[in-house]
Structure 1
Amino acid sequence: MTLGTTDGAPTSLESPARQIIELDVQGMTCASCAARIEKKLSKLDGVQASVNYATEKAHVVAPAGLTADDLIATVQAAGYDAALPVPEAKPRDRAAEIKRRLIVSATLAVPVIAMAMIPPLQFPGWQWVSLALATPVVTWAAWPFHRSTLVNLRHGAATMDTLISLGTSAAYLWSLVALIFGNAGMIGMTHRWTLSLSHDHQLTSIYFEAAVGIITFILLGRYIEARSRQDASSALRALAEVGAKSVTVLRGGAEVTVPIEKLVVDDEFVVRPGEKIATDGVVVSGDSAIDNSVITGESLPVDVHPGSAVVGASVNTTGRLVVRATAVGADTQLAQIAHLVELAQAGKSRSQALADKISGVFVPIVIALALITLVVWLVLGESATFAVTAAVSVLIISCPCALGLATPTALLAGSLRGSQLGILIRGPEALEEAHRIQVIALDKTGTITAGQMSLDSVVPAPGADADEVLKLAATLESASEHPIARAIVKASHATTEQLEDFSNIPGRGVRARVHGRPAAAGNAALMSDQGWAIPDELSQAAADAAKRGASTVFVGRAGTVTGLVAVTDKIDPNAAAAVGALHELGLRTVMVTGDNQAAAEYVAAQVGLDGVRADVLPGDKFNVVTELQAGGTVPVAMVGDGVNDAAALSQADLGIAMGSGTDAAIAASDLTLMRHDLMLAVDAIRLSRRTLNTIRGNLFWAFIYNVCAIPIAALGYLNPMFAGAAMAFSSVFVVTNSLRLRTWSPKH
């Protein structure tokens, strides 16, 4: 097995002395979990480990003497679980698991919060009903937070989950104590709405609403996060769906259809018109035109004949082919692209979310402050009830509900606004990177251009008529299924004439008799075969068209070449304006394409690009992006639409896929544009920057709220019930601030 290095060159890591082991990892709740497992595995002698939180995979390069069981035991010792991947196993749906807990939590929390905050709803015995409703929320629904807390405590670490677990448990347990041992359990009891604590407090208040509210809000944020994260692994599944599932193999002179897994190198297989080419190979017999757009993203078909190399997953458009397999399975070009996508995803691990960074310091401080509050009040001679209640107030007011909601609510509001504008935002990582982007690389076909072939020009020979040239070309091409032929027929509005003796010459063009006279449409080689001379004016026109990236078709009748028709992929009308807007955002623009240098430079000049990388092979766009990143010092965005763009989209700091492109490209991207309009890429970056600024504002105010409120709670001036309300208010503020994104409008 080969793995790609950072410079794109394959490096063989599997040898008799070394092995590669993939593991499915369960139990991770944040990026710090992945980092902890990776660190634990890497401590083993000779082990190199990479753990991807998004895909829940561990990629381990280990000495031959180390077994998978050893690695699994190491992961389990870290407090998590792992297993070898099960072939064809359905990926675990984390979002669905969280959604079940969220639905139960929200259903039970609403009446608890309503009864606590609306006195008329406090019927006799309401507090015991609140206990019954809150218990499943604090135990079952909140179990992931409690489990994470226990795991982290084993390693001496504290995260957001730690404070959530402690705060909700404290609120619940103290409420339970108040019900059983205090006056809060008396039938007919109602909340006493006092702001500060009473020094003769007799356990008459309960705080179930704070506990269930915190859990429900945080679960909502985790659900949004899980939905975005589970999509990160969909790129590989989309790539897997591109290839053929079965193949017709020639064995013993007979055609036998077998699953693609049964195909081996040197097998000869049949590809009929309209079928996918099963794997990489060389044409043994037959002539045809191959549509490589699913692999290369380029719309122009490629003529093939015996000896031509073909790529798996491309589509045979016209003739019957017999192909000899030269690579199968993991060695195919499609598989290598998929592998590059996987490597890029694994190498794109970002630092912990800002809220987690804050909580890494904030949580231990809050716990310490709560303990100090308890001890100080006891030392000052206050009752245990007063001291414990003050400490609980500190924990409740400090519960990072607003911190936890800061990112997902802004992301949700920004995503909803983006969807209205035709932009899909995958997750917070895209927002972080959009703010930093300095260079944007753009694919040509289907990105800067429309992705559909159309008539470019008709050039008649001296003395000929352009309309007649186009009509004759459309007549001849009307019997062909070639994409160039379809574009010519579509462009002609004249009624085509009757054909006789039609024949398709693969790699050359077509010929027939029109009104009894020989006629032909095709390339220069076909005209030469006919013995028809091409006027110098048409040869020059063909050369000029080629510089523009156009395909040319010469048209002749009865021994005379009467003109040529040029077909090309038109530049998107908004491309130039979009490139100008990207420059206004301070971005350097570079086009990356498989087209020839002349055609690429022509398009770049038309839209005002800063640079061009032409003649880039399908697997090399990954390397170009890596080069532009300059060793990771320059943040790069990539805009593309083909399968060959998928690896580059994943490697880029920000991947932007045109929605008109392939599923694999869309799945590998961070942002997806739902219509073919490059200006949407500009809007996507602007919206991403605005959303990220909103997230940062949310985090700032949520943190400042905690800093200001904790001393008030510690001094005994804040009843836990009001602490819970204040915590809820901070969440409302964050949500309201995020919802302002719904009115954001792009500036065109």
Structure 2
Amino acid sequence: MPRDTTQITLRYGVDNLHCGGCVGRAEAAMAAVPGVISAQVNLATKRAAITADAGFDAQAFAARLAAAGYPLHALDEQLVRVSVDNMTCGGCAARAETALRALPDVLEADVNLALKRADLRIAAGADWSVIADGMQKAGYPVTRIDAPSPATQPPDEAAPMRRAFLTALILSLPVVVLEMGGHLIPAFHHWQMQAFDPLALGIVKFLLTTAVLAGPGRVFFRLGIPALLRGAPEMNSLVVLGTTAAWGWSSVVTFAPALVPETGQYVYFEAAAVIVTLILLGRWLEAGARGRAGAAIRKLMALRPETATRIANGAEGEVALADLRRGDLIRLKPGGRVAVDGVVTDGESWIDEAMLTGEPVPVSKRQGDAVTAGTVNGTGTLVYRATAVGADTVLARIVAMVEDAQATRLPVQSLINRVTAIFVPVVLVIAALSAGAWLIWGPDPAKAVVIAVSVLIIACPCAMGLATPVSILAGTGRAAELGVLFRKGDALQGLGRVDLVAFDKTGTLTEGKPRVVAVHPVAPCDAHTLLGLAAGAEAASEHPLARAILAEAELRGITPATVTGFKAQTGAGVVVQIAGETLRLGSRAFLAGEGVEVPATDSSAATEVHLARGTVYLGHLALADPIKPDAARAVAALKARGVAVAMMSGDAEGPVDAVARELGIDTALARLSPADKRAQVIAWRKAGRRVAFVGDGINDAAVLAEADVGIALGTGTDVAIEAGDVVLVSGAPMGVLTAMEVSRRTLNNIVQNLVWAFGYNIALIPVAAGVLALFGGPFLNPMLAAGAMAASSVLVVLNALRLRKMRAQ
């Protein structure tokens, strides 16, 4: 299916914007220009983004805006994807995004914590070194990311975290045993006191804890201290302050106990060591879970082989995929994967296209058929000519779409980032005030250290920062495996709330390929003769109906009649000569205009092709567009969910009503142009309906853009990437149900994560601050605080991973 090119997106700078009223007037002026589908103006950036159809006149648009008092100027820009280092929590992501947007050449920046990357829109000709230097100074170095390649796998984040955790565990375990063992087993405490000098035990614990902080724990100091010096503390800063406070207090008690009141002569080496160990454990588990959540990209990238057998000058040889060029001949051996998109030139085989369509049944391929990179050959051998290579293949474009979907950010994420950006400074204030209050007024001033460390550790906003992106990562990744590609975050958020789904008919609910459903000869002509004559008349035609007639003749083993003098009248019929007589084939009106008397028929649900020899009527063929196998099930499932279903088509009332009756669709609108469809969607939306439109993405760009969610069907070997907010790769209507289920479950998962993350912090910060102790309750041990903080992030990620168990509807 050819890519839709009727819809374009343009961006402009807008002058004379001063307030919200200016924005409204500028948007109204833009929307009034013919060809403009939608317009959005941003007061902060003084820029506008418009979506327009093929009839858009840029000069008229500029003139209209100038007359309205809001002249335009061109924006030269480019899109860049970068990896962002040193991001470990939601506060980091918010500060990195703020730093990026503050750079002069950066027009927009969206940072994704789960993927540790950002999508930038920068001015054309921007000096990249300025951006890189600016982010280096901000503490979040960035590196440009090239287009994805199956040969380049993302780095394994889990392995170094695992090594750091195990090292910290080995060093921390003796400290915990020496300190806590005596509390659990009194006899062990007495043995320690008798066998070892207390100072010697203290020195051992000091050395081991220092090794933990200086070794596997140095990552926190490397990132946290510069953040503190910049006045932008984040999660690592909290760990540094907490562990340093515990380690420092314990060191003073060990080496200079006279400086500390007797009631406060307690050491917390084990707390400092275990805090680092538990946080590293959490990061290791989190990195592994994130890796599993992002498995969709790796699976897609692994589908393409690294080499292919190219045929050149009569010789065959293995070449790397990067060396293949469009037009190359490639041999596909039994069991091999298709290297690039192409068209079969020789051979026959069956190819498993499940990765593209989701259908488990292999598809027959012969000369002239298209093959897609990543699909698997059966037992035959094929030779095909490359039609798309590199980033132009369907597989590469799907990978890019999945990456974009996983990097998308829902509107709620912006609010979360603003909250987490101020959360860490607030926590520092709470820790200082709580520790100060206990130091001055508390019944046990020495507990001030415990309170300060516990508050600093428990309040890490990691879970809040991960709550949304990790769910999107897992949900969109699983959706891609099910053949549903989300292009926009708004679609992921909005699809679950849709209450009306409107389908296009041809190519969406039906196959889009007509076939002969009945042959009606008139005596003395019989069905065999009628079909043979019709096939002969259509043999030279490229019309879809002609191909359907020829296919039916071939299926029945009928040889087309030999005819001469082919003449076609567009939209009406054909005239040929056979055995000295004139044979006419076409519509009822065409034959009637040629003087042929055509009897009444009852095939309102089908397209009729009538045939006459001379003026003698021989009969007619009934052709119809078959309904897709899962269309009825999709409509029934939507209605069972309480979602209204409608159908809009440019076809005549007869075929439209027939399809509607068979599928159980109550609202079926016929003879609609694309503009009529868009107007109908506008009317539904004004009535308060949330509308999703499902179309093939070729002629329905305007209505796909107008709907709350536009769903494009990608069929054959070309995905309609630019047509809608969501792309159903297989073209099956049941994919709409799968997309809605992905949306619903992903949003529910995000809500669950946010409730847990915010609830965790709100509930435990007061406990860490010693509120319960005021009423005779317990203090929160810093080790338990570290464990709870690490567990919070891990639980958020594990909850998101449940989305990977979703199944196609």
Aligned mates of 2:219, 2:158 — CA distance in 1? 10
- State which of 533, 558, 567 in structure 2 corresponds to 1:505: 567
1:700 aligns with 2:732: no
- State which of 765, 788, 791 in structure 2 corresponds to 1:729: 791
After TM superposition, give the deviation of residue 734 of structure 1 in Å. 3.5
After TM superposition, give the deviation of residue 36 of structure 1 in Å. 6.8
2:547 aligned partner:
486
- State which of 38, 46, 50 in structure 2 corresponds to 1:6: 38
Query: TM-score w.r.t. structure 2 length?
Result: 0.57
Aligned mates of 1:674, 1:517 — CA distance in 2? 49
1:268 aligned partner:
none
- State which of 467, 471, 494 in structure 2 corresponds to 1:406: 467
Aligned mates of 2:291, 2:679 — CA distance in 1? 35
Aligned mates of 2:479, 2:126 — CA distance in 1? 46
2:368 aligned partner:
none
After TM superposition, give the deviation of residue 113 of structure 1 in Å. 6.1
After TM superposition, give the deviation of residue 455 of structure 1 in Å. 2.1
Aligned mates of 2:496, 2:795 — CA distance in 1? 24
After TM superposition, give the deviation of residue 438 of structure 1 in Å. 2.7
Aligned mates of 1:462, 1:148 — CA distance in 2? 92
* AA partner of residue 201 (structure 1): V
After superposing the two structures, state which structure 1 stretch, 218-227 or 475-484, moved more.
218-227
Aligned mates of 1:419, 1:634 — CA distance in 2? 28
Residues 35, 735 of structure 1: alpha-carbon distance in 2 compared, 3 angstrom cutoff: closer
- State which of 450, 453, 459 in structure 2 corresponds to 1:392: 453
1:259 aligned partner:
none
Assess if the C-alpha contact under 8 Å between 1:98 and 1:222 holds in 2. no
Secondary structure in 2 aligned to 1:567?
strand
Aligned mates of 2:797, 2:135 — CA distance in 1? 36
Assess if the C-alpha contact under 8 Å between 1:454 and 1:567 holds in 2. yes
Alignment RMSD: 5.7
2:185 aligned partner:
none
Secondary structure in 1 aligned to 2:549?
helix
Assess if the C-alpha contact under 8 Å between 1:640 and 1:649 holds in 2. yes
2:713 aligned partner:
658
Aligned mates of 2:216, 2:803 — CA distance in 1? 34
* AA partner of residue 638 (structure 2): L
- Unpaired runs of at least 5, structure 1: 61-66, 82-88, 155-161, 185-196, 230-273, 276-346
Residues 744, 24 of structure 1: alpha-carbon distance in 2 compared, 3 angstrom cutoff: closer
Aligned mates of 1:671, 1:372 — CA distance in 2? 50
- State which of 652, 662, 667 in structure 2 corresponds to 1:610: 667
Question: Share of identical aligned residues, percent?
Answer: 30
Assess if the C-alpha contact under 8 Å between 1:589 and 1:611 holds in 2. no
After TM superposition, give the deviation of residue 651 of structure 1 in Å. 5.4
1:584 aligns with 2:640: yes
1:471 aligns with 2:532: yes
Aligned mates of 1:376, 1:20 — CA distance in 2? 56
Give per-residue Cα distances to partners, 1:289-339, cap 9 Å, x unaligned: xxxxxxxxxxxxxxxxxxxxxxxxxxxxxxxxxxxxxxxxxxxxxxxxxxx
Give per-residue Cα distances to partners, 1:201-234, cap 9 Å, x unaligned: 25344232344355556767888999999xxxxx
Assess if the C-alpha contact under 8 Å between 1:636 and 1:654 holds in 2. yes
1:455 aligned partner:
516
- State which of 277, 282, 298 in structure 2 corresponds to 1:209: 277
1:534 aligned partner:
596
Secondary structure in 1 aligned to 2:157?
helix
2:30 aligned partner:
none
1:200 aligned partner:
266
2:435 aligned partner:
374
* AA partner of residue 572 (structure 1): K
* AA partner of residue 506 (structure 2): T
Assess if the C-alpha contact under 8 Å between 1:450 and 1:570 holds in 2. yes
Matches within 5 A, 1:147-158: none
Aligned mates of 2:517, 2:283 — CA distance in 1? 61
- State which of 562, 575, 584 in structure 1 corresponds to 2:631: 575
Aligned mates of 2:288, 2:94 — CA distance in 1? 20
After TM superposition, give the deviation of residue 551 of structure 1 in Å. 4.4
Assess if the C-alpha contact under 8 Å between 1:520 and 1:555 holds in 2. yes
- State which of 686, 689, 713 in structure 1 corresponds to 2:744: 689
Aligned mates of 2:527, 2:701 — CA distance in 1? 42
Residues 74, 50 of structure 1: alpha-carbon distance in 2 compared, 3 angstrom cutoff: same
Secondary structure in 1 aligned to 2:669?
strand
Matches within 5 A, 1:14-413: 18-22=73-77, 24=79, 56=119, 99-100=154-155, 102=157, 106-112=161-167, 114-115=169-170, 130-131=212-213, 134=216, 137-138=219-220, 163-170=234-241, 200-205=266-271, 206=273, 207-213=275-281, 350-352=411-413, 355-356=416-417, 359=420, 363=424, 365-380=426-441, 387-411=448-472
Aligned mates of 1:428, 1:689 — CA distance in 2? 13
Assess if the C-alpha contact under 8 Å between 1:171 and 1:211 holds in 2. no
Residues 630, 150 of structure 1: alpha-carbon distance in 2 compared, 3 angstrom cutoff: farther
2:197 aligned partner:
none
Give per-residue Cα distances to partners, 1:615-658, cap 9 Å, x unaligned: 333x8866765564449x65332323324455654654434333
- Unpaired runs of at least 5, structure 2: 1-8, 12-35, 40-50, 113-117, 139-143, 179-203, 256-262, 298-341, 344-407, 771-777
Aligned mates of 1:742, 1:227 — CA distance in 2? 10
Query: TM-score w.r.t. structure 1 length?
Result: 0.61
Give per-residue Cα distances to partners, 1:431-462, cap 9 Å, x unaligned: 42233223323222222212333224333346
* AA partner of residue 369 (structure 1): I
Assess if the C-alpha contact under 8 Å between 1:533 and 1:561 holds in 2. no
Question: Larger radius of gyration, structure 1 or 2?
Answer: 2
Residues 499, 537 of structure 1: alpha-carbon distance in 2 compared, 3 angstrom cutoff: closer
Secondary structure in 1 aligned to 2:749?
helix
Assess if the C-alpha contact under 8 Å between 2:250 and 2:266 holds in 1. no
Give per-residue Cα distances to partners, 1:578-613, cap 9 Å, x unaligned: 223323333333334444566545544543143537
Secondary structure in 2 aligned to 1:445?
coil
Aligned mates of 2:265, 2:176 — CA distance in 1? 28
After superposing the two structures, state which structure 1 stretch, 714-723 or 503-512, moved more.
503-512
1:638 aligned partner:
693
Assess if the C-alpha contact under 8 Å between 1:172 and 1:211 holds in 2. no
